[in-house]
Amino acid sequence: MLDEMSVLQNNGTWDLVPLPSGKFVVGCRWVFAIKIGPDGTIDGLKTCLVAKGYTQIFGLYYGNTFSPVAKMAIVRLFIAMTTLQQWLLYQLDVKNVFLNGDLQEEIYMEQSLVLLLRGVF
């Protein structure tokens, strides 16, 4: 959790501001996952701070949504091409991903309890 918070803070993901009157706060929560290796042992732990976006109303708090996801057909095509061309194929695990897009809407999210306990803010 501390690593995730450090990366979010270093990337300038948010600005801490007082909540203006009449604005809605989106909650947040931590999502935890255990990464299992090919032999069945615990390979690592993963955590992610996510906004509770389901509390927002389309058209009132936000407009369009976009989530880039690779379709499985494209993944299969890529693997087939590497096999046909006899290219080496490597796998990697991305620890943190950030989209560098500018939001049109103002979004206010509650602070994580971890930040409050550590005295970061």
Residue 57 lies in a domain: yes
pLDDT tens track for 27-41: 888 888 888 888 889
DSSP 16-84: --PPPTTPPEEPEEEEEEEEEPTTSSEEEEEEEEEE-GGGS-BTTTB---------HHHHHHHHHHHHH
Residue 35 lies in a domain: yes
Residue 59 lies in a domain: yes
Indicate whether this model's pTM tops 0.85: no
Residue 80 lies in a domain: no
Residue 49 lies in a domain: yes
Residue 55 three-state SS: helix
* pLDDT-wise least confident of 14-18, 101-105, 117-121: 117-121
Residue 50 lies in a domain: yes
Residue 73 lies in a domain: no
Closest by CA position to 97, among listed 68, 72, 54: 68
pLDDT tens track for 79-93: 999 999 999 988 876
pLDDT in the model for residue 121: 46
Burial of 16-27, coded b for 16+ CB within 10 Å and e otherwise, reads eeeeeeeeeebe
Domain holding 47, by residue range, is 2-63+106-118
**How many structural domains compose the chain?**
1
Residue 99 lies in a domain: no
CB 20 within 8 A of CB 14: no
Query: What's the N-to-C CA distance of the chain in angstroms?
Result: 16
